[in-house]
Amino acid sequence: MEFDPQRLAQARHLLVFTGAGVSAESGIPTFRDALSGLWEHFDPARLATPQAFREDPALVWGWYEWRRLKVLEAQPNPAHLAIAELARRVPRLTLVTQNVDDLHERAGSSEVLHLHGSLHTPKCFACNRPFNGQLPVPELPEQGASLEPPRCSGCNGKIRPGVVWFGEALPQQALKDAFKAADECDLLLSVGTSGLVQPAAQIPLRALHQGATLVHINPQPHTCSAPGEYSLVGPAGQILPQLLRQAFG
C-alpha cells in the first residue's frame, strides 16, 4: 500500500524525526562513515565516549573540530529546507533530531529538539560550565589531526564538545518533549536514520503504537511491520520536496 501524500496535507500534528542521513546530501558524513583518514581505525562508538576523551582529549577534540569544520563549510540541503517549509504548511510541527549539526536551524527551522546535543555548544568537561570563549575556525589539515582542547575560564578544566556521548544521559527536557510529541502526533516522518541508537530510536515506535502513521524516508528500504507504517525509498533531498509538491501543490 502506497503512502498517500494527502495524509501530509491533512496532518494535525506532524513530528519530523531526523538522523545523520538528512545531512548526508550537505556533504556531512553519517556517523558510520565519519571515520575516514586519521580515524579510520577507530570505532565511532568508542571515540564518542567520555573514556576516549579522558584517555586522549586531543584526539577526540580534533575529531569533533574536524566535524564542526565540515558543518561550517556545509549548506542546508533541500531536505532541511523542505522540513522548514513544512512547519509553515501544517497546523503543528515538532522537529526532533539526533544530529549535532545546526543545518536545520540554518534552513529556517526553530525550536529544534536536539536529543544528542550539538557541536556548537562546547562546555567544560570538569565543571560543565558552557565555554564562554569564541572557538576559532579550526586550522586542521584535511584529514584532521589531534588538537589540544581549550581550557575553561572558570576552573581551567578541558573543554569538550556539547554532544551526548555513548553512556551519557540524554538532555531530560528534550527527551520529555520528544516523547510527548510522539504520543500526540498523528503523522511521523522518520528521515535518514538507521534507528540503532537508544533511547532516540523509541520515538518513531512510540508514535506508531499510539496510532500515528509512520513514514520512513531512506535510500535503504525499511521492512514495515504494521499497518500505518510506510517506507519511501530514496534520498531525503529528493523525496521530501516531492512529497511537499504532491501534498500542497
- Taking residue 133's Cβ as centre, other Cβ atoms within 10 Å add up to 12
Q: For residues 156 and 110, what is the distance between their CA atoms, to the nearest angstrom?
A: 34
Q: Does 236 bind ligand BV8 (CB under 6 A)?
A: yes
One of 84, 188, 235, 243 touching ligand BV8 (CB under 6 A): 235
Cβ-based nearer residue to ligand BV8, 156 or 195:
195
The binder of 28, among Zn ion, ligand BV8, none, by C-beta within 5 to 8 A per type, is none
**CA 177 to each of CA 34, 84, 92, 114: distance values in angstroms, whole numbers, following the listed order:** 29, 19, 14, 11
For Zn ion, the closer of residues 104 and 158 by Cβ is 158
Residue 178 in contact with ligand BV8, rule: CB under 6 A: no
Task: Decide if 65 contacts 137 (C-beta within 8 A).
Answer: no
**Three-state SS at 155:** coil
Q: Is 26 in the site for ligand BV8 (CB under 6 A)?
A: no
Give the residue from 105, 249, 113 showing the smallest Cα distance to 180: 113
Q: What is residue 150's DSSP assignment?
A: P
Which of 8, 135, 11 is CA-nearest to residue 71? 135
Nearer to Zn ion, 108 or 154 (CB): 154
Helix ranges, the chain (H): 6-9, 44-47, 50-55, 57-73, 78-86, 103-107, 172-184, 202-209, 236-248
Ramachandran sector of residue 158 (left: φ over 0; alpha: ψ -120 to 50; beta: rest): beta
Query: Which is nearer to ligand BV8, 12 or 196 (by Cβ)?
Result: 196
- SS3 for 45-82 is HHHCCHHHHHHCHHHHHHHHHHHHHHHHHCCCCHHHHH
8 interacts with, out of Zn ion, ligand BV8, none, CB within 5 to 8 A per kind: none
Choosing from 104, 116, 216, 222, the catalytic residue is 116
197 lies in the binding site for ligand BV8 (CB under 6 A): yes
User: 41 an active-site residue?
Assistant: no
Preceding peptide of 76 cis, ω within 30°: no
Q: Which does 58 bind (CB under 5 to 8 A by kind): Zn ion, ligand BV8, none?
A: none
**If binding is defined by CB under 6 A, does position 20 make contact with ligand BV8?**
yes
In the list Zn ion, ligand BV8, none, the entry touching 137 (Cβ below 5 to 8 angstroms by class) is none
| Contact track, ligand BV8, 116-155, x by CB under 6 A | x---------------------------------------
Q: Which stretch in 8-16, 106-114, 142-150, 216-224 sits in contact with ligand BV8 by CB under 6 A?
A: 216-224
Among Zn ion, ligand BV8, none, residue 21 binds (CB under 5-8 Å by kind): ligand BV8
The contact set with ligand BV8 (CB under 6 A) reads 19-21, 24-25, 30-32, 45, 48, 98, 100, 116, 163-164, 166-169, 192-194, 196-198, 200, 217-220, 235-237
User: Which of the residues are catalytic?
Assistant: 116
